[in-house]
Amino acid sequence: MRLRVLGTAAGGGLPQWNCACPGCAGARAHPELRRRHASLAFKTSPGRWYLVNATPDLGEQIEAHPELHPGPARRHTPLAGVVLTDAELDHTLGIARLREGEAVEIWSSPTTYRAVTDGLGLDRVLSPYTELRHRPIGPRPVRMDPDLAGTVDVSAVPVSSKRPRYARTLDLDGQDWVVALRLHDTATGRTLLYAPSVAAWTPALGDAVAEADCVILDGTFWDEDEPGRNGMSPATSTGMGHLPVTGADGSAVRLARSARGSVYYTHLNNTNPLNDPASEENRVLAEAGLHVAAEGMVIDL
């Protein structure tokens, strides 16, 4: 299974259009520090790729990587669909950019799909252009592209019941608002766990981390007080639905204890010092055997 990291930034990207914080100012002055919204692409069979989350940067992310380009026929595309970890705007707005296709396959939890349709109304808005086709995923593995000799099974590990703001009034009680994706290649026996949004370290998440050959995890905030310290919110990191990297209950300590494979962080907020590869925080991570995912990096499992 081949994976391509398409982006590593949290909502707003880096730089964020209306922010002059040190991170955003630094990215404007040094374009190599810029980051697109967190996303991933993975190949299930020859010439067939899926996007994990459809970000506002979707068009640019596709153009940056030739294996995702259309051809050789004029309207042939290797993109087979989108797998969603949640229904947040920075993970779903890119669906509208796929409207030129005959249909858009959306693999997600039932709750996420209801939010995308009943909340955002994307099925109604896009119906004059294309058709949304839902493929539900849950704890049981589902084979992707079995008719094309696909070898990748996808399953979802619920990690949070946090709703997007626009969906707070929807009459939905699901616990699968936010999931970690488990991608298992039956041909190689290797597994990726992709979890760009984690509110708490649950037993199910811990088990999935321990079993994975590669983990790409939520690195939104470096520590618990980062949102307040930077004036972005009076809430803490966990109060905003993101387990911080450091601290007694942070993800770094838990990953160092339980992860058996390679570990990378993604979904970095613009205030996170990990955005700067030369930062002391990156050095601390590296000493623990942990790293920030690099945009464009390829992972073969």
Q: Which amino acid is at 186?
A: T
Q: What angle do CA 168, 235, 203 make, to 5 degrees?
A: 75
Asked if pLDDT for residue 13 goes beyond 80, the answer is yes
Residues 45/151, Cβ–Cβ less than 8 Å: yes
**DSSP, residue by residue, 250-291:** SHHHHHHHH--SEEEEE-B-TT-GGGSTTSHHHHHHHHTT-E
Per the structure, the count of domains in the chain is 1
Q: In angstroms, rounded to a whole number, what is the distance separating the alpha carbons of residues 223 and 78?
A: 39
DSSP collapsed to 3 states, 52-102 = ECCCCCHHHHHHCCHHHCCCCCCCCCCEEEEECCCCCHHHHHHHHHHCCCC
Asked if pLDDT for residue 232 goes beyond 90, the answer is no
For the beta carbon of residue 250, count every other beta carbon within 10 angstroms: 19
Asked if pLDDT for residue 197 goes beyond 80, the answer is yes
Q: In angstroms, rounded to a whole number, what is the distance separating the alpha carbons of residues 212 and 282?
A: 23
Average pLDDT over residues 6-16: 97
Hunting for tokens 């992707």 — which residue is that? Answer: 144
Instruction: Specify the pLDDT at position 136.
Output: 98
Identify the band that residue 123 occupies on the pLDDT scale cut at 50, 70 and 90.
very high
Identify the band that residue 175 occupies on the pLDDT scale cut at 50, 70 and 90.
confident
Instruction: Specify the pLDDT at position 235.
Output: 87
Q: Which residues contact 18 (CB under 8 A, 6 or more apart)?
A: none
**What length is written for the chain?**
301
Burial level of 258, CB count in 10 A (0-12/13-18/19+)? middle
Give every strand in the sheet of 152-160, ordered side by side: 142-143, 152-160, 178-185, 190-195, 214-218, 262-266, 291-292
Q: In angstroms, rounded to a whole number, what is the distance separating the alpha carbons of residues 70 and 283?
A: 40
Identify the three-state secondary structure at position 233: coil
Burial level of 141, CB count in 10 A (0-12/13-18/19+)? middle
Range of the domain at 110: 2-300
Nearest to 270 by CA among 90, 59, 34: 34
Phi–psi pair at 253, nearest 5 degrees = -60, -45
Q: Measuring CA to CA, how many Å separate 153 from each of 10, 119, 145, 183, 203?
A: 27, 29, 9, 6, 22
Model confidence pLDDT, tens digit, residues 151-161:
999 999 999 99
| pTM for the structure as a whole | 0.96
CATH code for position 205 = 3.60.15.10
Q: In angstroms, rounded to a whole number, what is the distance separating the alpha carbons of residues 301 and 298?
A: 10
Average pLDDT over residues 66-88: 96
Q: In angstroms, rounded to a whole number, what is the distance separating the alpha carbons of residues 98 and 296?
A: 21
Q: And the tokens for 21?
A: 């914080």
Q: In angstroms, rounded to a whole number, what is the distance separating the alpha carbons of residues 271 and 127?
A: 38
